[in-house]
Amino acid sequence: MLLTEEEGKEGLKLARQAIEEHLSENIRLKAEEAHVPASFEEDRGVFVTLNKHGNLRGCIGYPYPMFKLKDAIIDAAISAAVSDTRFPPVTKEEFEDIVIELTILTTPQVLKAKPKDLPEQIEIGRHGLIVKKGMYQGLLLPQVATEYEWSAEEFLCQTCWKAGLSQDAWLEKDTKVSTFEGQIFKE
């Protein structure tokens, strides 16, 4: 179910508040104390992306609906700020320069197509991808393919690469490819 624009704004406020409290007081915002819409009680997948002056500064989330949305937003926001191993932790001083983007996900669906037919199942700008093979898994949000102007084949290759697999691993029978959609809210 899609969130309203107002609910999206509430989600962004919750993410910002969670990071602020963590950076200033080293405490985790309690979800039950947050005043959020009833829809935030549903289990949903979510990613929180942090950008600073247009550059990625952190991105962490939960692809599957394992937690209530309010809890997933709080955890993903704090993790994006301080636990994304690609970047040093966000400092309290730089946080005012950070723009938060929230992507609320639909439940991923495994594509049931022959490997060579997978590109036809992927709609650039609409679908995000998860590639899984054995213990390897990679995920790219829908907006990534649009941002880089990738074709469906390039999107598949890049998601395999992110998983630590060869770029053509999507053509192998034992590789699972799932799509999901994301509703994006940005400050």
pLDDT tens for 37-63 read 999 999 999 999 999 999 999 999 999
Query: Is the distance from CB of 69 to CB of 46 less than 8 angstroms?
Result: yes
Together in a domain, 74 and 40? yes
Per-residue pLDDT reduced to its tens digit, 13-37: 999 999 999 999 999 998 888 889 9
Residue 187 is assigned to a structural domain of this protein: no
Residue 138 is assigned to a structural domain of this protein: yes
Residue 57 is assigned to a structural domain of this protein: yes
Number of domains in the chain: 2
Residue 186 is assigned to a structural domain of this protein: no
Query: In angstroms, what CA-CA distances link 22 with 30, 45, 89, 103, 146?
Result: 11, 22, 12, 21, 32
Together in a domain, 82 and 159? no
Residue 1 pLDDT > 80: no
State the average pLDDT over residues 165-185.
97
Angle 83-63-38 from CA coordinates, rounded to 5°: 100
Residue where a domain terminates, one of 105, 140, 160: 105
**Euclidean distance between CA atoms 28 and 51, whole angstroms:** 22
Residue 2 pLDDT > 90: no
**Euclidean distance between CA atoms 160 and 132, whole angstroms:** 8
Together in a domain, 12 and 83? yes
Together in a domain, 64 and 122? no
* Structure confidence at residue 83 (pLDDT): 97
Together in a domain, 28 and 116? no
Per-residue pLDDT reduced to its tens digit, 75-122: 999 999 999 999 999 999 999 999 999 999 999 999 999 999 999 999
Query: In angstroms, what CA-CA distances link 63 with 34, 97, 115, 139, 149?
Result: 23, 27, 22, 8, 23
Q: Three-state DSSP class for 149?
A: coil
**Euclidean distance between CA atoms 31 and 142, whole angstroms:** 27
Residue where a domain terminates, one of 51, 71, 105: 105
Residue where a domain terminates, one of 74, 105, 136: 105
Residue 69 pLDDT > 90: yes
State the average pLDDT over residues 147-169.
97
Helix, strand, coil tally for the chain in percent (to 5): 40, 25, 35
**Which of 185, 112, 107 minimizes the C-alpha distance to 143?**
185
**Euclidean distance between CA atoms 99 and 44, whole angstroms:** 22
Task: Give the residue carrying structure tokens 């704090």.
Answer: 78
Percent of residues, the chain, with pLDDT higher than 90? 95
Q: Three-state DSSP class for 142?
A: helix
The length of the chain in residues reads 187
* Structure confidence at residue 184 (pLDDT): 94
Domain containing 144 equals 109-181
Together in a domain, 69 and 140? no
Neighbours of 167 (CB within 10 A): 14
pTM: 0.89
